Amino acid sequence: MKPMKYAFFLGCLIPAREPQYENSVRKIAPELGMELVEMEGANCCAPFSIQSLDYVSWLALAARNLCMAEQMNLNILALCNDCYESLLATNTILKENHEVRDKVNEILADVGLEFKGKTDVKIFSDALYEDVGIKRVKDAVKKPFNGLRVAVQPGCHLTKPKRIHFKQQMGVIALDELVNATGAVSVPYERKDACCGGPLRGINDEVALRVAKQKLDSIRAAGVDCIVTVCPFCFLELDMGQLEIRRHLKEEYDLPVLNFADLLRMAMGMKLENWEIKAHRIPITKILNMAGAK
Amino acid sequence: MHQVANTPRGRGVLACIQCGRCTNSCPVARVVQEHNPRKLMEMIILGLRSDVLSEQLPWYCLSCFTCLDRCPQGGDVGETIFAIRNLAVRQGNIPEGILAQAKNLFENGRVVTPSRMALVQREKYGLGREPVVDVEIVQKILRRTSFDRLINKGS
């Protein structure tokens, strides 16, 4: 069996805005034999906003988290697509480019650290697929969502860009299979690999909403019961975004959005708490009733 | 062009053949006429510095990296955008939203901080205490890279 102990990288957005996602992961993981070790003192992954400002600051901050995992002698488990991208890209660049690595290590030396390139970065869905395995996930499903039609929203940085994702589309295939393992069906739709618009939040909200609308139009056309994602930005953009699109672009959808961890948790027979249900702007009541229904 | 090409992440501009696949694959170009990745690369190649770095142009990209995966040349518009942004912020062109995140990062070690309400809920729902960030280390690193001076320039 593969080692299933991880340095648990929570990131900024999830504890601040989506504690229900964190809660689901903490509940599922031990049931599937995954051990999560807290990263005490870890800092922000340095997402795109920070990368936009300064290249070296980005790499140094991300590398500092990687160094922590190296010292723990563990691989990093990320929950957020953006954390995943930032840490994975930094890890790849610093492993491949010695000139940049030396420069970053010079900075890290000031805080007593050195990047050695001994850790790997995984995102939650990939860890479930590659380490836990579909069979074990399936075996853990006690209340399958039989017949639930799901639009999977992989989120861009689960698989893009391919220069750091050597397994290319595997992340999306893994997520599809994981959704299917809960008894639900991942339904294909036209703009599945397209961005949700989330990264432009706070920079250009209007454009962000118009991009989200393209996505939601395409999902609605596929005739699904709900959207399932692993990315906290996609979650916010597609869930809260529906309310804003209703207000500003006068288009109405009724597409509940769930994080995959929530879907799996329910399929494993663990109920969502009231506060977690209420954290969804688009009510998920009809989905709750479908766990183990048939 | 060479200033961009010599900036980390900007080298791809040298490979651009102006085929326009980036624009065709761009989700933002579908809704914003002003954002045209191919044209942006052309402007860089032609050396239209002030046009490229001014106002909105650097800030439409989602960093979804679709163009990166579709570019037949490894031309990297999605990467080049970061080179342009790094140059633009040094001229004081920083969107407020990004500046706010950067200041948050410097002060608290993270770009998004939980509200007091979220922290109370955390305890209440058994998620344990707030994850602690070692802010001192973050500030040491960011002072060393002159990040602090960069964000002071934007405010």
Summarised one tens digit per residue, pLDDT across range A54-72 is 999 999 999 999 999 999 9
Residues B125, B71 share a domain: no
- In order of their start, the domains of chain A are 5-123 (1.20.1050.140), 133-288 (3.40.50.11810)
Give the residue on B whose Cα is nearest the Cα of A234: B64
In chain B, how many domains are there?
Answer: 2
Q: Percent helix, strand, coil in chain B (nearest 5)?
A: 55, 0, 40
**Which residue among A12, A156, A207 sits closest to B65, beta carbon to beta carbon?**
A156
Task: Answer whether residue B125 shows pLDDT above 90.
Answer: no
pLDDT for A1 equals 44
**Which residue among B97, B112, B141 sits closest to A111, beta carbon to beta carbon?**
B141
Name the more confident of B153 and A252. A252
Q: Which of B47, B63, B89 is the last residue of a domain?
A: B89
pLDDT tens-place string over residues A150-173? 999 999 999 988 878 877 788 999
Q: What percent of chain B has pLDDT over 70?
A: 98
Our CA-based measurement puts residue B137 at a distance from the nearest CA of chain A, in whole angstroms, of 7
Asked whether the beta carbons of residue B122 and residue A19 sit closer than 8 angstroms, the reply is yes
CATH number of the domain enclosing B61: 1.10.1060.10
pLDDT for B154 equals 59
Asked whether the beta carbons of residue B66 and residue A193 sit closer than 8 angstroms, the reply is yes
pLDDT tens-place string over residues A216-247? 999 999 999 999 999 999 999 999 999 999 99
Asked whether the beta carbons of residue B64 and residue A194 sit closer than 8 angstroms, the reply is yes
Residues B111, B63 share a domain: no
CB-count burial class (<10 Å; 0-12, 13-18, 19+) for B29: buried
Residues B79, B37 share a domain: yes
**Which residue among B85, B125, B134 sits closest to A273, beta carbon to beta carbon?**
B125
Contact A43, B138 (CB under 8 A): yes
pLDDT for A2 equals 53
Residues B102, B127 share a domain: yes
ipTM of the complex: 0.93
Which residues of chain B neighbour A162 with C-beta distances below 8 Å? 69
Residues B121, B55 share a domain: no
Q: Which of B69, B89, B109 is the last residue of a domain?
A: B89
pLDDT tens-place string over residues B101-112? 999 999 999 998
Asked whether the beta carbons of residue B8 and residue A55 sit closer than 8 angstroms, the reply is yes
Task: Answer whether residue A20 shows pLDDT above 50.
Answer: yes
Task: Answer whether residue A128 shows pLDDT above 50.
Answer: yes
Give the residue on B whose Cα is nearest the Cα of A272: B125
Residues B58, B11 share a domain: yes
Task: Answer whether residue B67 shows pLDDT above 50.
Answer: yes
Give the residue on A whose Cα is nearest the Cα of B97: A202
pLDDT tens-place string over residues A83-126? 999 999 999 999 999 999 999 999 999 999 999 999 999 999 99
Number of Cβ within 10 Å of residue A257's Cβ equals 26
**Which residue among A23, A51, A201 sits closest to B125, beta carbon to beta carbon?**
A23
Which structural domain range is residue B111 located in?
A: 96-154
- CA–CA gap between residue B153 and residue B136 (Å, rounded): 22
